[in-house]
């Protein structure tokens, strides 16, 4: 297998070695000690934690320690809108919602509508704004607390952000940005500046609360690089360093490498607005199988759940550990055929999406309750 | 004399060769033809034009042609606040006020309070904001029409600017910024992005009027470099290229090189808040003289008005061409002594500043009428 991989906020390719990434990014593994500490507050552990889908962190211990002293953190996550929301996007948000429920804290949800505009030649700001409001429906559909959730588009909230972005930007040289993101001189000055805007929501809680207030950022590991820069400048600006809790990528349907991404093929991506037939077709046609070539051989030798994408997806979607283990074991033994495994995933996805789509429609009337504007 | 000179938005040094600069910057000399065209609209010519204090332009002809067709331009100028206003700052603003009176047009007055913050290590955003509101008093004191003048701080108006800055920024690479401003990789990403913010007021009139509306920017030549970048991106964004009309620098008191600047020595700078004794002391002590070493020699050989800073300043301050010519001739002939020439300047400055300071105090109650905020 290809051992080369690349993880940047704009590109994930190859087979990601998450342990290596944890070391390279200088973050901490989400080990039993920190998980136990979290559990002492939340009483139970989300299955994303039990299964190491969230696998590393930075300063989660500090955020929890501060909580002990009565200092609440804010949650902060985001979505750069450049197209429809797919299942991969939902993973950190589902977890963020769980954290909000457990800790009853405020969530800042940044929609950097300028980011993908600045990065992708083909996108206009009208495109990204349109996608922003489409994507917000998916966010609201997950059930965030409207009293504790503030969603904002960078271009609409810039009046409150630009000043603070400048303060961060003054401490970030192009040399640093260049080496951090692998940029070169042909990058446009908007995307060069952008990371300073992504720092700002890490500062806003302190400004809003008028006392030092840390953010805890649940996100996929590719975003940590932005927050590494934020951590470098935060304290000298009078803000606590942001804490992060980082997840793996939902694998692409077509194989266990990289992450599912609209850009790698729309046909093989499960969007939140897909109907049950589309889901069925996509899974049956594209979900990479860990099964054997013939039923006979499969029955005899069993399938390989470690590479089977349908099984991998179920680790993200099937909450029940026992059910999941049964699927794992039966697939490995050959009792469960690839087609049957796919059907389990199809049913799971369609049940999820049916409810999600219902909530997504309801969300259309709730947008105003969530949005922060200048 | 030192023939090396440097002109950037952040540094002016050496003896500036304005003809050479006109060629290097790719702008047009403000020749008799364009001046006549301007005069056909304004009826008279400001003495800054008669004396080539405003000496070059770009697209002024287009702005005037459009006016013929009933399409008004907007005026746009600015002030990066990092300290008190001195006489040198007032020159383009006095001319801007004359243009506003003649053409009855809207003026956008940008106060990029982030610019000097980003460029100068020692300045905070609180400093630049404080200076912004101090400097606005000097602007209002000049008598701009409150109905037609909109002053805004970048950090306060960013909600209306950031989006448009991103659109410009997407079309500006770091390579371009690097070569245009002489930047290197150690520059911070805020100052790299900043020029995009300075482009925005060139676009706002088209947005505000909902039809293509050009800006005419009266400013010192060092700022043209920003607008060269704006011109490169404007049309592809749907905006007319900005027109500029560019002036020389008021020379430093201490000699005809460079421009007067607080950073070259506060003691030798005439601030708008200086009292009459301070003015007298500074001029007598520091104003570089073109006179001879002894009264006897001066009477015999005469002074040199071309290098005498007091005389040079009077070309910026004495409206009456006849009076100025008389001073010139009498100084050159030796009839007027250096001390007497200085006294003429002192009286002129103090009369100007007395009125300016009166208006500046009155301006304290008018700020709200001029300010645009989010």
Tell me the chain A residues in contact with residue B183 when contact means C-beta distances shorter than 8 Å.
174
The mean per-residue pLDDT over the stretch A72-93 comes to 97
Q: Is B118 close to A161, i.e. CB distance below 8 A?
A: no
Does A150 map to a domain? Answer: yes
With respect to residue A368, please indicate whether it lies within any of the assigned structural domains: no
Average pLDDT, chain A: 95
Neighbours of A263 (CB within 10 A): 11
Residue B369 lies in a domain: no
Looking at the predicted structure, is the pLDDT value of residue A2 above 60? no
Provide the residue range defining the domain that includes B98: 5-254
Number of independent structural domains in chain A: 2
Do both A26 and A71 map to the same domain? yes
pLDDT score at B273: 97
- Subunit contact B158:A155, Cβ cutoff 8 A: no
Measured in angstroms, the CA of A77 and the nearest CA of chain B are apart by: 21
Residue A346 lies in a domain: yes
Residue of chain A whose alpha carbon sits nearest to that of B188: A173
Asked if residue B308 and residue B286 are part of one domain, the reply reads yes
Nearest to A81 by CA among A47, A119, A27: A119
Q: How many A×B Cβ pairs under 8 Å?
A: 127
Position B4 scores a pLDDT of 81
Contacts of A193 in chain B (CB under 8 A): 169, 189-190, 192-193
3-state secondary structure chain B: CCCCEEEECCEEEECCCHHHHHHHCCCEECCHHHHHHHHHHHCCCCHHHHCCCEEEEECHHHHHHHHHCCCCCEEEEECCCCCCCEHHHHHHHHHHHHHHHHHCCCEEEEECHHHHHHHCCCCCHHHHHHHHHHHHHHHHHCCCCCCCEEEEEHHHHHHHHHHHHHHHHCCCEHHHHHHHHCCCCCCEHHHHHHHHHHHHHHHHHHHHHCCCCCEEEEEEHHHHHHHHHHHHHHHHHCCCCCEEEEECCCCCCCCCCCCCCHHHCHHHCCECCCCHHHHHHHHHHHCCCCCCCCHHHHHHHCCCCCCCHHHHHHHHHCCCHHHHHHHHHHHHHCCCCHHHHHHHHHHHHHHHHHHHHHHHHHHCCCHHHHECCC
Q: Does any domain span residue A370?
A: no
Model confidence band, residue A205 (pLDDT cutoffs 50, 70, 90): very high
Residue A1 has a pLDDT of 43
Closest by CA to B27, choosing from B226, B244, B200, is: B244
Reported as a pLDDT band with limits 50, 70 and 90, residue A263 is: low
Tokens of B13: 């040094």
Beta-ladder partners of B148: none
Last residue within a domain, chosen from A207, A223, A254: A254
Pairing between strand A11-14 and A215-220?
A: unpaired
Whichever domain contains B293, its CATH number is 1.10.240.10
Q: Enumerate residues 6+ apart whose C-beta is below 8 A from A289.
A: A303, A308, A309, A310, A338, A342
Contact across the interface for B158 and A156, Cβ inside 8 Å: no
Quick check: B192 and A192 CB within 8 A? yes
ipTM of the complex: 0.94
Q: A327 and A273: one domain? A: yes
**Which of A117, A161, A177 is the closest to B189 by Cβ?**
A177
Residues A93 and A187 in one domain: yes
Same domain, B222 and B351: no
Q: How far is A126 from chain B (nearest CA, A)?
A: 11
Distance (Å, whole) CA B114 – CA B175: 22
Provide, as residue numbers in chain B, all residues whose Cβ is less than 8 Å from the Cβ of A115.
Answer: none
Q: Which residue of A has its CA nearest to B157?
A: A159
| pLDDT tens figures, B209-220 | 999 999 999 999
| Residue from A120, A157, A164, A170 to probe the interface with B (highest B Cβ count within 10 Å) | A170
Say what the pLDDT of residue A121 is.
Answer: 93
Cross-chain Cβ contact B125/A193 below 8 Å: no
**A190 and A300, same structural domain?**
no
Q: State whether A190 and B161 contact (CB < 8 Å).
A: no
Q: What is the model's pLDDT at position A14?
A: 85
Among candidate residues A187, A220, A254, the one where a domain is terminated: A254
- CA B38, CA B207: separation in Å to the nearest integer? 26
Q: What is the pLDDT of residue A15?
A: 85
Q: Average pLDDT for consecutive 10-residue bins of chain B (374 residues)? A: 77 89 94 97 97 97 96 97 97 98 98 97 96 98 98 97 98 97 97 98 97 97 96 98 97 77 74 98 95 94 95 97 98 97 98 98 97 86
- To the nearest whole angstrom, how far is the Cα of A202 from the nearest Cα of chain B? 18
Please name which of A203, A189, A271, A265 lies closest in space to residue A231, comparing C-alpha atoms.
A203
- Residue A129: pLDDT band (50, 70, 90) is very high
**A101 lies in the same domain as A204:** yes
The count of residues in chain A is 374
**Minimum-distance CB partner of A178 among B171, B185, B188:** B185
Residue A267: per-residue pLDDT = 75
- Among A230, A254, A278, where does a domain finish? A254
Is residue A372 a part of any domain in this protein? no
Residue A335: what pLDDT? 97
Neighboring chain A residues of B162 at a CB cutoff of 8 Å = 114, 154-155, 158, 161-162
The H or E element that residue A151 is part of is strand A149-153
B374 found inside a domain: no
Out of B158, B175, B188, name the one closest to residue A159 (CB). B158
* Residues A326, A193 share a domain: no
Cβ B29 vs Cβ B272: under 8 Å: no
pLDDT digits (tens, 9 = 90+) for A217-234: 999 999 999 999 999 999
Name which of A166, A189, A195 is nearest B177 (Cβ-Cβ).
A189
B175 shares a domain with B284: no
Shortest alpha-carbon distance between residue A166 and chain B (Å): 6
Tell me the chain A residues in contact with residue B179 when contact means C-beta distances shorter than 8 Å.
none
Contact A155 B172 (CB under 8 A): no
Residue A69: pLDDT over 50: yes
C-alpha–C-alpha distance, residues A356 and A220, integer Å = 21
Do residues B282 and B229 both lie within one domain? no
- Per CB-CB distance under 8 Å, the chain B contacts of A159 are 156-160, 374
Smallest Cβ–Cβ distance between A174 and the set B163, B167, B185 belongs to B185
Tell me: pLDDT of A319 over 60: yes
Residue with tokens 């409206």: B319
Is residue A286 located within the same domain as residue A239?
no
Q: Strand, helix or coil at A11?
A: strand
**What pLDDT score does B15 carry?**
85
CATH of the domain at B15: 3.40.50.620
Q: Please answer yes or no on whether A192 and B174 come within 8 Å at the CB atom.
A: yes
| Closest residue in chain B to residue A171, using alpha carbons only | B188
Q: pLDDT band at A264, cuts 50/70/90?
A: low
Confidence at residue A126, expressed as pLDDT on a 0 to 100 scale: 97
Out of B174, B190, B195, the one facing A185 most closely (by C-beta) is B174
Residue B236 maps to a domain: yes
Domain identity same for A62 and A142:
yes
């Amino acid at each position: 297998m290809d051992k080369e991989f690349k993880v940047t906020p704009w590109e994930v390719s190859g087979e990601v070695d998450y342990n290596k990434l944890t070391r390279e990014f200088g973050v901490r593994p989400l080990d039993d000690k920190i998980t136990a500490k979290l559990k002492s507050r939340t009483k139970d552990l989300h299955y994303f934690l039990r299964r190491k889908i969230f696998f590393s962190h930075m300063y989660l211990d500090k955020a929890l320690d501060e909580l002990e002293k009565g200092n609440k953190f804010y949650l902060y996550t985001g979505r750069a809108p450049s197209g429809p929301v797919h299942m991969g996007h939902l993973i950190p948000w589902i977890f963020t919602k769980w954290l909000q429920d457990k800790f009853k804290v405020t969530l800042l949800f940044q929609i950097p509508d300028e980011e993908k505009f600045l990065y992708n030649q083909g996108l206009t700001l009208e495109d990204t704004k349109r996608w922003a409001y489409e994507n917000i429906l998916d966010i609201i559909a997950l059930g965030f607390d409207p009293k504790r959730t503030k969603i904002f588009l960078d271009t609409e909230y810039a009046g409150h952000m630009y000043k603070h972005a400048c303060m961060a930007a003054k401490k970030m040289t192009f040399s640093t940005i260049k080496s951090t993101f692998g940029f070169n001189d042909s990058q446009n000055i908007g995307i060069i500046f952008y990371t300073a805007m992504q720092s700002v929501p890490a500062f806003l809680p302190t400004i809003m609360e008028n006392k030092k207030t840390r953010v805890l950022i649940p996100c996929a590991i590719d975003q940590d690089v932005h927050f590494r820069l934020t951590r470098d400048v935060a304290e000298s600006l009078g803000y606590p360093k942001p804490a992060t809790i980082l997840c793996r990528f939902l694998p692409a349907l077509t194989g266990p490498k990289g992450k599912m991404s609209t850009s790698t093929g729309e046909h093989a991506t499960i969007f939140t607005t897909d109907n049950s037939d589309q889901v069925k077709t996509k899974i049956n046609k594209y979900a990479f199988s860990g099964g054997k070539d013939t039923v006979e051989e499969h029955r005899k030798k069993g399938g390989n759940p470690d590479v089977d994408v349908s099984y991998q997806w179920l680790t993200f979607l099937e909450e029940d550990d026992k059910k999941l283990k049964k699927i794992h074991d039966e697939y490995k033994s050959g009792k469960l055929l690839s087609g049957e495994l796919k059907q389990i995933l199809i049913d799971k996805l369609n049940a999820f999406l049916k409810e999600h789509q219902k909530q997504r429609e309801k969300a259309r009337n709730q947008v105003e309750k969530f949005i922060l504007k200048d």
